[in-house]
Structure 1
Amino acid sequence: MPHDPTRPDTAHRKLRAVARGLAATGLAVDAYLHAHLAERYDAVSATISQGTLFRIEAAIAALAALLVLVWRHALADVFAWTVAAGGLAALLLYRYVDVGELGPLPNMYEPAWFTDKNIVVIAQVVALIATSVLLLTRRRRRHLA
């Protein structure tokens, strides 16, 4: 039977491929910018510096980007969604609320918008939407008994 690009299975696969690419791209941008900015935030410190937290975010976002590309499993998609949502939540919290120090975490309140922060927000939103699409369009496998 010849390949029919109008078949729903093909459209579904294309949608998931685009979503996977967007998720990985958003997470990679998140990772790059957090790694790039980390040194600038080393002075903001309690037990752990904000620069260290940025490096951790960069590593986790890079891992999520890699997993969403190479391990096409629901756990990878959930992990990537969690990284994007958690990063976005933390960024918005510390943008709008002066939380102060929380245990070993420094006071990361920064009530300003700047180019790199705007790009990170966009990247995290793109990754969040794309991973949501991946999770919502996942097909359950039928088990033959």
Structure 2
Amino acid sequence: MTHGLIDGYVLREFACSARDHMLARLGEPGFGVTAKAIGKRRTEIETRCAEAVKAAEKSIKTDTDIEKSLRDTGRPVTQHDRTQSRIKLGEARHYCQLMLHLAHGHGPRSDDRSLRTRSREAAVKAEPPSWRELPQPRSGEPERSVR
């Protein structure tokens, strides 16, 4: 679900949207689910979302610092810059995926459709920095152009 999310801003937005969706689906105690269990799930969701948002903000900061450095010094983009940007974006995706494991583990399977819709909506807004080279698409995926 995080595949098309290629920007830290969009990852942060998706993480918050997914969190809101999962919290809304927690429901009320009953039918074998105690208030304590629901409270624990709520805490897990909030914790994982906070981790995902923090990682997305690190990705945003890295991209912003690289862009500022490029603008101030006029130097070309180095492979190290690209690598650091990809690392931070990968970490942010990973934390979003950890949060989505909670939705898969505790939520009904019908939630997948709603979360995929939210992911697609966020991916439409995604726009990577112009200096970052995107990896080659896997087979069966549409190619993206770099501006």
**Fold equivalence (TM over 0.5):** no
Q: Considering Cα pairs closer than 8 Å and 6+ residues apart, tell me whether 1 or 2 has the greater RCO.
A: 2
How does the TM-score come out when normalised to structure 1? 0.38
How does the TM-score come out when normalised to structure 2? 0.38
